[in-house]
Each structure stands twice: as C-alpha cells, then as structure tokens.
Amino acid sequence: MKRKMSARESSDKDIVWQTPANPPEPNDFIFRNGRRYVRPYHFEFIAHVKSRWAGKTIVDLFAEEFKGRPYEYYVSAVESGRIQVDGQMVPISYIVQPSQKISHFVHRHEPPVMSWDVTIVQKEPEVLTVCKPASVPVHPCGQYRKNTVVGILQAEHHFTPLFPVHRLDRLVSGLLILARNANKADQFRQQIEAGKVHKEYIAKVTGVFPEEKVVNANVDYNAREGRSSVEVGSDQSDKPAKGKDACTKFTRICTNGTHSVVLCEPVTGRTHQIRVHLQYTGHPIANDTLYLSEEVVCRSTKGTTADRAAFAVATCNSSAPSFPHDDQVVKDVHYNEDFELDSMCTNCPNLAPKGYDGNEEALWLHCIRYSGPGWSYECPYPDWALLS
C-alpha cells in the first residue's frame, strides 16, 4: 500500500494512505541529535461516532474534540475530502449520527524518542526479552505507532507478531517480556492475574532510604492530570479511601548519603504505583518531576508534557487536550529534505508534531526482573544505579 512520492509537495491524488496494516520499515526512521524520528507519513484514522458527538456538525465535532488543529483546518479538511463520513464527502454543515464511520486522512508526525537501541536480551522460540530504553512506548498508543518497542523490533529485526506480556511506562526503562504467539501470551496473562508473577524494579531516590519498608496505601489515578495520589484508610473515618488497594515492598540496596538505590517489589500493579509510593515515603525518585513535589500542577494549563504525550493530537479515539501556543514550544529543526511536505499539514516542515519541547529525561526507574512458575527473566542494571 505504501510508496515514496516523487513530488516535493504531495497532492491527494498521488497519496497512498497507510493504515495499521502497514508494517514499520527500517527507512521509516530518521536519526538526528540523539533522537529517533519517524519520517512523516499519510495515515487514515478511523472512528465511529460516539453518543456525545451525535447532533454536532462535522466541523464543530473536530474543532471541539480535537483542539490540536485550528478551526479553519477542519473546514478545509471537510471541503477537500480529508474528513469523510461513511466513506463519502459531506458539506461542512453535515450533522453526524450515532455509529457512523468517520475517516480523517492526515499527514502523521509522530513524537521523537531517544535514539537508544532496543537491546535484545534473550530470544526463545516463544518468548523474546528486551531491554526497553526510556522514552519509547511499548506498543502503539495515541500519537505513537512506529516509534514504539513493538514497531522498532518489527522494522529492525523482523519480529512479528509480538504480544507484550506486561507494560512499562514510557519514561521507564528495563526488562520487557514479549510473547511470540497468542497462546504463550495467554499463559503469562493467567499467571499474572493469579498473582504468581514476581516483579522487581530498582529506583534512584532522594536521601537515605530505610533498610526495609512496606507501603500499603491506596493509589488513586487521575487520568485527566496523568498523575496518581495515595490515601491510607482510617478506622476512625466512615469515609472510604479513594483509589485501589496497593502494596509495594522496598529494600535499600546502597546509599551515598545523598541518594539511595532501592529495590522495589510491587505486590499489586496500579498506575504509577512505585513512583507515588516512593513519594509517600518521603524519598521520591530523584529526577521524577511529577512526584518530587506534593503540589498538583494542572497540566492541561501547562501544555503537553511527557507523561501526557499519548493523549494529544486528533487520533479520533479520545478527547485531546489543547496544545500550547507556538511561543511555548521549542521548535524542531526543519528537516524537510528528509520527507515529502503536505500542503494541508499543520506540522510541516517540522519532523515532530507541535507540543513537544524535547527536554525529556529518562526516569530513574528500571525493571530488572520478572519471575514466575519455572521461569525467570532479568535485565542488566543501568549506569545510574552505580552510586559513587
């Protein structure tokens, strides 16, 4: 389905639109200044009209739900057929109805990730283990499709299909287990759900951490803010604790008086559990800007940040937050010699989409080991774990 266009600036009649069926390829990636970029490509996003969308005009729907592009863009996209309903062009005044299929044909710019390799640790007939670098999401989500662990392994090592057994947050590094068939993935899933899998991480935290500590504190995740908080239930209060029960065991490995390296063994698996439980102990991860302070910053007013990157842009599957104005964004260098420009694209000629300042730092949290009945996989320690 995919081919390279010959013209410097594409016209719709020359475009072959990609879908999720198009596999990532080695020449999809561009490496610049220590980052891995994806060569922008034309892509068809498909969604079906949600109940809250019904009754709106096609232009108002996009302008209200997907604020990453100006209103005028959506007018032009409908008029030119870049936005269609049930495979047909419609007028800008068209009122959408429940369950209709909406296609949005876009020139897709994926966010960059650090250019570190996805290192293969162990290759077996049914299991692949890798050392995931920080900044790279595990699988396609939000703005990321090719710039993912699964996409990179497919493009550079021809591993397909792959079924991630567990997930790591995008800014977390370390061991990632991928099953190579659905049956093996299901075996792992059943063991995890039965509580038979033991997980171990290490973190570099502030201060001198106690030799051992167990935290039992509910974790309440706020999806809008992309941040968790903890609450401990009280026998003297009739008000139930918020969130889900969560337990993490911590053991200090070493300390230099300023920082400590801590072994983290989560018994449960809540969103940001280790990060927020370490904050709760008074020893947050030393470079975790999200949890170094108790203050909750309204990130929707701060622009698109690293932890919320996957929620931005018009992916047609969720409500996207507003993007910061151009003066809030550190502009990406124009690398338009590396890809074809699109006359309607609101991101060209930059490689990265709007809303990324490029100042991400790898979180000092690293998965080192997963073990279960009759099996154990592990990953080398990162350099930051060596305290001096």
Q: What is the pLDDT of residues 142-174, one digit of tens each?
A: 899 999 999 999 999 999 999 999 999 999 999
CATH number at residue 85: 3.10.290.10
User: Is the pLDDT score of 10 beyond 90?
Assistant: no
What whole-number percentage of the chain has pLDDT above 70? 82
Q: Is 350 helix (H, G, I), strand (E, B) or coil?
A: strand
Q: Is 169 a catalytic residue?
A: yes
Same domain, 198 and 338: no
Taking residue 124's Cβ as centre, other Cβ atoms within 10 Å add up to: 11
Going by pLDDT thresholds of 50, 70 and 90, the confidence category of residue 327 is very low
356 φψ region: left (φ > 0), alpha (ψ -120 to 50), beta (else) = beta
- Whether residue 263 contacts residue 174, with contact meaning beta carbons closer than 8 Å, is answered with no
Where do runs of H (alpha helix) occur along 138-257? 149-157, 182-193
CA 45/CA 53 separation, integer angstroms: 16
Confidence at residue 330, expressed as pLDDT on a 0 to 100 scale: 44
Same domain, 189 and 279: yes
Domain that holds residue 326: 9-112+317-342
Catalytic one of 12, 60, 169, 357:
169
Q: The pTM is what?
A: 0.83
* Ramachandran angles phi, psi of 284, nearest 5°: -70, 160
Same domain, 190 and 336: no
Q: What is the pLDDT of residues 248-304, one digit of tens each?
A: 999 999 999 999 999 999 999 999 999 999 999 999 999 999 999 765 444 433 333
Same domain, 180 and 267: yes
Helix axes 71-80, 58-65, angle to 10 degrees: 140
Task: Answer yes or no: is 280 within a domain.
Answer: yes
Task: Answer yes or no: is 309 within a domain.
Answer: no
